[in-house]
């Protein structure tokens, strides 16, 4: 599976309501973030957890979120960020335009 | 796994006990493990000493390995750049094998501070830092590090000034993270080995800064 997103793309984290072992924390679901980095492709932990090691591999991304957007009462610098790894199938392109702000940043 | 709903967050976090002991000091999990091991040895599926040797292998890596990587990056700028580009390859240059898929090195500067946690479980760069400390795997740290990281760092005795941007890395999948701390001022003439001695485990998680022994 090829990477659908690139550094700087705005993405929304899906709420797939999957039961069992998942790696997408609840606190970023339905939130808009920005792709920081393509991490390569890996076996899906949701399948690994039930002993299915046959693949296929899935692209993994590091996605950044403004902490002040994640938490209404966040105290800190407006630039404070949360970076988390999200597998491709939990992401969708955000209708927002590409973020200029994150484009130059490396995390 | 754990409860990820932080809406009812409060500030009375008791750290849950890591082990449960009965009045005789027996660890419940240990009793179960011993019974299983006895069975496996009796069935000749396991040789005595095999488990101990595996535990030794798991416990052999320690923060000294990460400290060597940091000290090299402090003294060799081209190495530092290679480390930031590809942590695993740069560690391999020093003969340090990173067992995890990839190592992402995040650099602290005067403008940016990095903090690593794993909200889902206890993902940690074990091959270069050893086993994680108890607080790292506590539910309190795991939930609060992404919710109120500045307050958490204050409790570690590390105040991050308002003008410094904080980057919290929730290490929950295939990547592992190493914080490259700021080299302390006044450490200019020190050897690489002496510099490595300044680099503590907590510096490389982001809950401390590297300091000279006198300070």
Q: How far is A82 from chain B (nearest CA, A)?
A: 5
Give the global pTM. Answer: 0.85
Residue A55 has pLDDT above 90, yes or no: no
Taking CA atoms, B143 is separated from B4, B9, B66, B120, in Å, by 8, 9, 25, 9
CA distance B73 to B90: 10
Peptide bond into B33 cis (omega under 30): no
Q: What DSSP character marks residue B27? A: B
Report yes or no: A83 at the B interface, CB cutoff 8 Å: yes
pLDDT in the model for residue B18: 58
CA distance A44 to A91: 14
Told to judge if B118 belongs to the known catalytic residues of this protein, a careful annotator would answer yes
Told to judge if B117 belongs to the known catalytic residues of this protein, a careful annotator would answer no
Residue A105 has pLDDT above 70, yes or no: no
B104 contacts in chain A (CB < 8 Å) = 37, 62
The tens digit of pLDDT for each residue in A73-91 reads: 999 999 999 999 999 999 9
CA distance B18 to B8: 23
Selection from B174, B175, B176, B194 nearest residue B186 by Cα: B194
* CB environment A6-32: b (16+ within 10 A), e (fewer): ebbbbbbbeeeeeeeebbbbebbbebb
Q: How far is A100 from chain B (nearest CA, A)?
A: 18
Chain B: residue whose CA lies nearest to A42 = B174
Q: Which mean pLDDT values do the consecutive 10-residue runs of chain B (215 residues) have? A: 43 53 73 90 90 87 96 98 98 95 96 97 92 94 97 97 97 95 92 96 97 80
Report yes or no: A58 at the B interface, CB cutoff 8 Å: no
Told to judge if B123 belongs to the known catalytic residues of this protein, a careful annotator would answer yes
Q: Annotated catalytic residue: which of B117, B118, B171, B203?
A: B118
């Amino acid at each position: 599976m090829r990477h659908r997103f690139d550094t700087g793309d705005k993405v929304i984290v899906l709420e797939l309501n999957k039961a069992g072992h998942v790696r997408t924390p609840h606190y970023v679901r339905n939130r808009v973030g920005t792709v920081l980095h393509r991490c390569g492709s890996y076996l899906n932990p949701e399948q690994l957890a039930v002993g299915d090691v046959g693949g296929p591999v899935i692209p993994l991304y590091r996605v950044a979120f403004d902490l002040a957007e994640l938490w209404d009462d966040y105290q800190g610098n407006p630039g404070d960020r949360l970076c988390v790894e999200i597998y491709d199938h939990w992401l969708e392109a955000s209708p927002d335009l590409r973020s200029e702000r994150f484009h130059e940043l490396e995390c | 796994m754990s409860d990820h709903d932080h809406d009812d967050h409060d500030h009375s976090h008791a750290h849950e006990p890591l082990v449960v002991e009965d009045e005789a000091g027996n660890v419940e999990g240990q009793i179960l493990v011993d019974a299983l091991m006895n069975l496996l040895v009796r069935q000749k599926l396991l040789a005595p000493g095999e488990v101990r040797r595996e535990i030794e292998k798991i416990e052999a890596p320690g923060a000294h390995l990460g400290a060597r990587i940091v000290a090299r990056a402090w003294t060799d700028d081209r190495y530092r750049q290679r480390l930031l580009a590809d942590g695993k390859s740069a560690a391999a240059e020093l003969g340090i094998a990173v067992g995890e898929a990839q190592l992402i090195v995040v650099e602290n500067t005067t403008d940016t501070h990095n903090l690593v946690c794993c909200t889902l479980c206890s993902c940690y760069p074990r091959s270069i830092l050893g086993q994680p400390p108890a607080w790292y795997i506590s539910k309190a740290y795991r939930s609060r590090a992404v919710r109120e990281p500045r307050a958490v760092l204050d409790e570690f005795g590390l105040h991050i000034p308002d003008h410094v941007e904080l980057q919290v890395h929730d290490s929950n999948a295939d990547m592992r993270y190493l914080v490259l701390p700021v080299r302390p001022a006044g450490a200019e003439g020190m050897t690489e080995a002496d510099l490595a001695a300044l680099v503590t485990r907590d510096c490389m998680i982001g809950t401390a800064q590297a300091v000279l022994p006198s300070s």
